[in-house]
Amino acid sequence: MAKKPAKKSPAVDLANDDIGETTRMELWRLQLECRQVEQRANDLFFQNLIKGTSHLGLGQEAIASGFGGAMQTDDYTFCTYRGHNHTLVRGASMTGVLGELMGRECGLLGGKGGSMHLTSVEHGAMGSYAIIGAHLPIAVGAAWSAQYRGSDQVTTCFFGDGTTNIGAFHEALNMAQVWKLPVVFVCENNLYMEYTPIGDVTAVEHPAADRASAYGLDSIIVDGNDADAVYRVAQTAFAKARAGDGPSLIEAKTYRHSGHSRADPGAYRPDGELDAWLERDPIPMYRQRLLDFGIAEADVVAMEEDVLRRVDEASEAAQASPPPSPDVIATDVWADGGSAWRN
């Protein structure tokens, strides 16, 4: 019996593909790596191999992947404590990420930073920040540095919807626009600040986009579950920044599949809300799009298997790595690199 052809997505314009198979497969790889690493992190948490809590971005992979796929290798990324995906898409190793979450020597920070502080300067991942809004002025500083040095580097700063009600958000936007800095602000609006719906405490419908005009910026809203749409809006914003035309503010609509952290079951969400968003899960949506564009399913499956194999290898390597040794555990803590400075 002949195989029934896959149903084509109504949103796909097969006659006008501006992205191409090579880039689209790269976006698929990035999304798969983000999903599989975080699912593995979730499994390791329940095996008591990851201590403390962690903030997963399951369901939000298309944002990190779309922007990561559009960046130059020397661009800068600043993100929040929900920053596993943003660090991975810059090229940080799976072993380094999982090792850091597990507090192992092989971690990106030697096992001393943990889930909320992932950093890989060599890959342009300039830190995950646990204090809400704290990294926006720092990202502005990095953009100012690039402008001063005359490089064409662009800084991308990711933050949640709750950050839009923090003073640092407004201060950073204002300074970036006044000085026409090469920085792109990306609000990952997943509808919840922590446990509170953003709409309950914000005077405008779109917490980032509706405030853009106050700083002379365009109001930009993108489907944060569509990696192609994110990639396109990222390309436009990066081109604007590299041309010296200043910052952009982008609001990406998305949804986290789990609670705020591993300590949160998400019971406050209305019945049916999660199910509705799972229908728009970026991973199966993008997989179908690849097939709609005529990419062979065998190639899609091969990439899925390769990513899962590498996640398995990274997980095994991280588990085999020891905790940081006592002679280094107190270094890089205070100004002189040791605890004696405070004693």
pLDDT at 9 > cutoff 70: no
Task: Quote the pTM value.
Answer: 0.92
- Extract the tokens encoding 220: 């930009």
Please state, rounded to an integer, the average pLDDT across all residues of the chain: 92
Gap between the Cα atoms of 313 and 93, Å rounded = 11
Distances (CA, A) of 117 to 40, 54, 99, 193, 215: 19, 11, 13, 19, 30
List the strands of the sheet with 125-129, edge to edge.
Answer: 125-129, 76-80, 155-160, 183-189, 248-253, 220-223
Residue 340 has a pLDDT of 62
pLDDT at 271 > cutoff 70: yes
pLDDT at 7 > cutoff 90: no
Going by pLDDT thresholds of 50, 70 and 90, the confidence category of residue 3 is: very low
Smallest CA-to-CA distance from 289 within 231, 224, 226 is with 226
Q: Is the dihedral of CA 255, 220, 30, 50 positive or negative?
A: negative
pLDDT at 5 > cutoff 80: no
What string of DSSP letters covers 144-167?
A: HHHHHHT----EEEEEEGGGGGSH
Gap between the Cα atoms of 250 and 237, Å rounded = 9
Can you tell me the mean pLDDT for 127-147?
97
What separation, in Å, do the N-terminal and C-terminal C-alpha atoms of the chain show? 78
Smallest CA-to-CA distance from 247 within 185, 157, 186 is with 185
Tokens 């509706």 belong to residue:
210
Residue 139 has a pLDDT of 98
Residue 10 has a pLDDT of 44
Can you tell me the mean pLDDT for 41-62?
93
3-class state of residue 215 by DSSP = helix
Residue 45 has a pLDDT of 93
3-class state of residue 36 by DSSP = helix
pLDDT tens digits, one per residue of 278-299:
999 999 999 999 999 999 999 9
Can you tell me the mean pLDDT for 270-282?
94
Gap between the Cα atoms of 322 and 102, Å rounded = 10
- Contact between 216 and 186 under an 8 Å Cβ cutoff? The reply is no
Residue 2 has a pLDDT of 43
pLDDT tens digits, one per residue of 168-214:
999 999 999 999 999 999 999 999 998 999 999 999 999 999 999 99
Gap between the Cα atoms of 127 and 87, Å rounded = 8
Can you tell me the mean pLDDT for 111-118?
93
The set of long-range contacts for 197-204, using a CB threshold of 8 Å and a minimum separation of 24, is 198/161, 198/162, 198/164, 201/165, 202/161, 202/164, 202/165
Going by pLDDT thresholds of 50, 70 and 90, the confidence category of residue 343 is: low
- Contact between 74 and 286 under an 8 Å Cβ cutoff? The reply is no
Going by pLDDT thresholds of 50, 70 and 90, the confidence category of residue 262 is: confident
- Contact between 139 and 157 under an 8 Å Cβ cutoff? The reply is yes
Q: In percent, how much of the chain has pLDDT > 70?
A: 92
Q: Could you give the angle at which helices 61-70 and 282-292 cross, rounded to 10 degrees? A: 50
pLDDT tens digits, one per residue of 138-165:
999 999 999 999 999 999 999 999 999 9
Q: How far is CA 267 from the centre of its chain?
A: 24
Residue 4 has a pLDDT of 41
List the alpha helices (DSSP H) in 179-264.
227-242
pLDDT tens digits, one per residue of 294-338:
999 999 999 999 999 999 999 999 999 999 998 888 777 766 655
Can you tell me the mean pLDDT for 91-106?
97
Smallest CA-to-CA distance from 160 within 190, 204, 138 is with 190
